[in-house]
Chains A and B, each alone.
Chain A
């Protein structure tokens, strides 16, 4: 392995390794409104909050102090009520460790594998500040920008969330028979940014209806809402939620993509018919094209796997022994197996899968590679989850969401 110089910093007065930090985009007042996680720098399972990725569909709202906050529980319930912060924390709590991933993460690999487009890098290439400024100024990106390759990577992180199961709160309210979903609404508002959707699709040749200024909201199917791991969290990684991550309370929907993890929750409404929130009817939907009459909303993610070591950028490597490392996760349960191939998928061998085996948290894996002959090599890895699903699971869709195909790592081996 070619040794990279480890960058340093001063930590609590001592010289130390530099710590991973979010790659941020800021608004005109210097407040972070988006960001990517330095995924290739992560050492363990839990992503430090300073490095956790941020995506906002609407405007990041002005903060609400926890003592000024109330959660309204209403709709098809026997006992609608309001809960304040102390009240929420008094309910029987739970902690959940899970991967948060943006639905559009790794979208660029679709076109790379289908059409031979430029291969995205695992190291963030997006100019987050430029994106933030465009967003703040309401600038319309050029057609070229819209149709260029999607470069989104590093929109994934994993955390430990502490809060109360949504089911606990709903039990207090008493769900009426006939309820089908739970609408969760945040106190963030704004005008949906159509540029984001056009970029996701890669073309501007379709209409997006304008809903005006809306609250961010998602309608979660009842079964997932009642899953004990679906929680209303007030803490992340051992501390109270940061404002940028949805303080005072964020909805955690493990295994489902980040757009379901409603931040800044202020209202929970039980409904007996599925409503049509913008962000599960116009965006975050499957379909062959914008005109496809059947565009179901994205829900559980597929079977995901990334090789974090070596990266393409580490080429060339010397002949000899190399440790291949990666992490795998699934939208439907724990990863049970990871296999690696060094011959374009002809043969596969099991990688060492690290404990613990958890439903929603990614698992690190490793595999020793002994390579003698100089030349070009492709390393592939595939994961299997506890339900038996093997990647890939997600077909190409026009919004290029939930990518979970096998992405080979290309390495050149040299004599040395």
Chain B
């Protein structure tokens, strides 16, 4: 069983937004220097889902894969320290500055190159662009079934069984392998790296593939292959002044608030 987990390095989404600057002219979000770069949390949970499959008794080779520059090697290391077996880094500049479509193309080509992948896991969306496209995109490009928003992923027979979160409950969905599953936070917290896995991680192999290695030509990846055109990037203005409801005690504040709401005809 070979599970590939697609992960992305993002600026720490828990950091206060004051640590980010939006350069409207350059149409770029610039994190403050010193802002930690981390594995997108839903991707951590996708890797957690893979590790749980292994913990449940399946002999699985787990590969973490990322499109990103050399700095993204750190998220592969983090994935290896959580328990993945090997990594694939795709740092070719030809892969950069694309969109979800071009990224899905590169990842699909890399997964295809591994040739024996049974299950692709990814976070439901990346914590920077929040788009939630690449997982389904890989499935379409590789003509695999896809199940989204998983809160539980198990192998059953020659297929995968997923509890898929919907608005007011969940569906139990089964698909034959190979398949793609995207993972949502309802899966639960991802495990922290142990000392042992952290030490072992340093010796686990990381393959580095270029566009040529993947057989991708000019225009098939990165900015040249993108479908999306970024017209504008901006911080939406905040609404306006907030009226503070005072009171000598919290109880008084409560009754004053009731008065305000009534005056505004909201009660």
A residues bordering B, Cβ < 8 Å?
A: 62-65, 67-68
Contacts and interface: CB of A to CB of B under 8 A. Distances in A.
Nearest to B195: A65
Interface string B192-223: 00011001101100000000000000000000
Contacts of A63: 199, 202
Contacts of A62: 199, 202-203
B73 to A, nearest CB: 12
Given A63-B202, A65-B200, A68-B200, 11 more contacts: A62-B199, A62-B202, A62-B203, A63-B199, A64-B199, A65-B195, A65-B196, A65-B199, A67-B196, A68-B196, A68-B199
A269 B196 CA distance: 28
A68 B203 CA distance: 12
A189 to B, nearest CB: 12
A341 B195 CA distance: 54
B86 to A, nearest CB: 16
14 contacts: A62-B199, A62-B202, A62-B203, A63-B199, A63-B202, A64-B199, A65-B195, A65-B196, A65-B199, A65-B200, A67-B196, A68-B196, A68-B199, A68-B200
Interface residues of B, number: 6
Contacts of A64: 199
A190 to B, nearest CB: 15
Contacts of A65: 195-196, 199-200
Contacts of B200: 65, 68
Contacts of B199: 62-65, 68
A62 to B, nearest CB: 4
**Residue with the highest number of chain A CB atoms closer than 10 Å, among B195, B196, B199, B203:** B199
A181 B253 CA distance: 85
Nearest to B202: A62
Nearest to B201: A62
Contacts of B196: 65, 67-68
A229 B203 CA distance: 34
Nearest to B203: A62
Nearest to A63: B199
A67 B203 CA distance: 15
A382 B46 CA distance: 68
Interface in B128-159: none
A239 B117 CA distance: 45
Contacts of B203: 62
Nearest to A243: B199
A62 B80 CA distance: 14
A413 B74 CA distance: 59
Contacts of A67: 196
Interface in B162-214: 195-196, 199-200, 202-203
Contacts of B195: 65
A96 to B, nearest CB: 27
A67 to B, nearest CB: 6
What 4 A-B pairs come out closest when comparing CB atoms? Answer: A62-B202, A65-B196, A63-B199, A65-B199
Nearest to A69: B199
Contacts of B202: 62-63
A64 B196 CA distance: 8
A361 B203 CA distance: 38
A64 B203 CA distance: 10
Interface in B67-83: none
Contacts of A68: 196, 199-200
A210 B109 CA distance: 43
Nearest to A67: B196
A246 to B, nearest CB: 15
A68 B200 CA distance: 9
A64 B199 CA distance: 6
A213 B195 CA distance: 28
A67 B194 CA distance: 13
Nearest to A66: B196
B216 to A, nearest CB: 31
B246 to A, nearest CB: 40
A314 B5 CA distance: 63
A104 to B, nearest CB: 30
A86 to B, nearest CB: 15
Nearest to A61: B202
A69 to B, nearest CB: 10
A65 B201 CA distance: 11
A67 B195 CA distance: 11
B200 to A, nearest CB: 7
B129 to A, nearest CB: 29
B214 to A, nearest CB: 29
A63 B202 CA distance: 8
